[in-house]
């Protein structure tokens, strides 16, 4: 990304120099001449970091007048990301996720994670990874106990997407904190009323835990989610039937979990894979040795170092 942006900036600078020279000599003809230069062929080496030779322009450059503002926008956006990364103590600038895919992948239950009649009843699939070849991961944050204002500032500053799975007994003392999160573009999802071990409950009790949380979320946040995560990742047939009856379409769990001081992996290879769903929790110094900001620094440090960007899960569901 750094190289691409630098090239765009160099093109813009080259473009400005060209314009100044021509403006001095040819006056009103300058704009026409510049337009002709822009539509010319790319010369070998034009994509190198040095400013392009006179007249050399990329094949797919925006129109001449748009180029300056396009380049300054890119330059400003990148500078803002560099500054934000520095402000929050990140070793590297987080990578930007590619745009949402034109066609969403088909999400099915992970093998071995299906329940009886999964397909026949069209039950919400339980999965740990989203099928994609892109080097992206998805960040999901659970429960809602710790409500650190610095966490909201950090993620907004760095423009990192995530979704939250909320359990009512932990969030009810401050729904406003999660409304701020929602206002920043993050989706709030269902993680039950009281965070029970669902397979230990009857169907009716499970339904109350899931549908009850749907009702509260509709009232507090304006809409009932379509995404639900069973506490501890534990569920049975009744869980998914109950969830479906409450309007749930997906039941993602996770492939990796990040803590403030270490990572845990579901797979034996102990590594990140394209499309992996990563779990962490809203926790603070009372729960582990650090803040949410420290936790996010660990998360972003690893995914960035390994060449992954953080993408919006809603873009793939």
- Residues 142, 148, 255, 295: which binds Zn ion (CB under 5 A)? 142
- Give, as ranges, the residues between 204 and 243 that touch Zn ion (CB under 5 A): 231
Locate 303 and state its tokens. 């995914």
- Asked if 58 and 11 touch (Cβ cutoff 8 Å), the reply is yes
Please give the angle made by the CA atoms of 172, 283 and 281, to the nearest 5 degrees.
85
The answer to whether 130 and 315 have CB atoms below 8 angstroms apart is no
CA-only gyration radius of the chain, Å: 24
- Among 211, 217, 229, which Cα is nearest to 125's? 229
DSSP one-letter string for 183-218? HTTPEEEE--SS---GGGS-HHHHHHHHHHHHHHHH
Measured distance CA(43)–CA(41) in Å, rounded: 6
Least gap, CB of 68 to Zn ion (angstroms): 50
Count of residues engaged in binding Zn ion, rule: CB under 5 A:
3
Residue number with the shortest CB distance to Zn ion?
142
CA distance 265 to 292: 20
Measured from the CB atom, is 159 or 208 closer to Zn ion? 208
Rounded distance, CA 12 to CA 122, Å?
53
Sign for the pseudo-dihedral over CA of 114, 116, 118, 119: positive
Q: Which is nearer to Zn ion, 124 or 231 (CB)?
A: 231
d(CA 90, CA 167): 30
**Closest CB to Zn ion among residues 81, 281:** 281
Nearer to Zn ion, 194 or 202 (CB): 194
Which of the ranges 119-127, 136-144, 203-211, 304-312 carries the binding residues for Zn ion, by CB under 5 A?
A: 136-144
Q: Is 57 or 167 the residue whose CB approaches Zn ion more closely?
A: 167
The window from 30-38, 120-128, 140-148, 255-263 that contacts Zn ion (CB under 5 A) reads 140-148
Report in angstroms how near the CB of residue 143 gets to Zn ion at its nearest: 5
Minimum distance, C-beta of residue 273 to Zn ion, in the bound complex (Å) = 23
Which positions from 143 through 172 interact with Zn ion, judged by CB under 5 A?
A: 143
Provide the minimum distance between the beta carbon of 76 and Zn ion in the complex, in angstroms, as a whole number. 39
**Nearest distance from residue 242's CB to Zn ion, in Å?**
17
Q: Using the minimum distance from each CB to Zn ion, give the nearer residue, 81 or 283.
A: 283
List the one residue out of 278, 293, 295 whose CA is nearest residue 130.
Answer: 278
Unique residue bearing structure tokens 């400005």: 16
- For 108-128, give the secondary structure using H, E and C: CCCCCCCCCCCCCCCCCCEEC
Q: In the complex with Zn ion, which residue's Cβ is closer, 231 or 275?
A: 231
Closest approach, Cβ 280 to Zn ion, in A, equals 11
Which lies closer to Zn ion via its Cβ, residue 142 or residue 276? 142
Find the part of the chain contacting Zn ion (CB under 5 A) among 135-143, 205-213, 218-226, 302-310: 135-143
Q: Nearest approach, Cβ of 281 to Zn ion (angstroms)?
A: 7
Question: What distance in Å separates the CA atoms of residue 180 and residue 296, rounded to the nearest whole number?
Answer: 18
Is there binding between residue 275 and Zn ion (CB under 5 A)? no
**Strands 309-310, 163-166: pairing kind:** unpaired
Closest contact distance (angstroms) between CB of 131 and Zn ion is 25
Residues that bind Zn ion (CB under 5 A): 142-143, 231
């Amino acid at each position: 990304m750094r190289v691409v942006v630098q090239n765009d900036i160099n093109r813009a600078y080259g473009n400005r120099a060209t314009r100044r020279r021509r403006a001095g000599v040819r006056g009103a003809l300058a704009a026409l001449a510049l337009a002709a230069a822009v539509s010319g062929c790319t010369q070998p080496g034009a994509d190198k970091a040095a400013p392009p030779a006179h007249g050399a322009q990329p094949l797919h450059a925006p129109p001449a007048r748009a180029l300056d503002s396009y380049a300054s926008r890119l330059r400003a956006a990148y500078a803002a990301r560099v500054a934000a990364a520095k402000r929050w103590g990140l070793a590297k600038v987080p990578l930007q996720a590619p745009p949402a895919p034109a066609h969403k992948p088909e999400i099915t239950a992970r093998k071995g994670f299906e329940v009886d009649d999964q397909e026949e009843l069209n039950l919400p699939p339980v999965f740990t990874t989203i099928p994609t070849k892109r080097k992206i991961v998805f960040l999901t944050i659970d429960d809602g106990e710790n409500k650190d204002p610095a966490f909201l500032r950090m993620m907004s500053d760095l423009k990192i997407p995530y979704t939250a799975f909320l359990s009512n007994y932990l969030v009810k003392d401050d729904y406003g904190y999660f409304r701020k999160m929602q206002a920043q573009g993050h989706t709030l999802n269902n993680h039950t009323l009281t965070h029970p071990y669902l397979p230990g409950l009857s169907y009716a009790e499970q339904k109350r835990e899931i549908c009850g949380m749907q009702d509260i979320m509709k009232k507090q946040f304006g809409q009932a989610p379509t995404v639900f995560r069973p506490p501890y990742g534990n569920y049975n047939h009744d869980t998914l039937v109950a969830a479906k009856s409450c309007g749930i379409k997906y039941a993602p769990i996770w492939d990796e979990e990040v803590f403030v001081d270490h990572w845990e992996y579901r797979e034996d290879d102990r590594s990140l894979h394209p499309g992996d769903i990563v779990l962490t929790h809203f926790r603070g110094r009372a729960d582990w040795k650090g803040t949410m900001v420290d936790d996010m620094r660990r998360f972003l440090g690893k995914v960035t170092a390994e060449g992954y960007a953080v993408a919006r899960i809603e873009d793939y569901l």
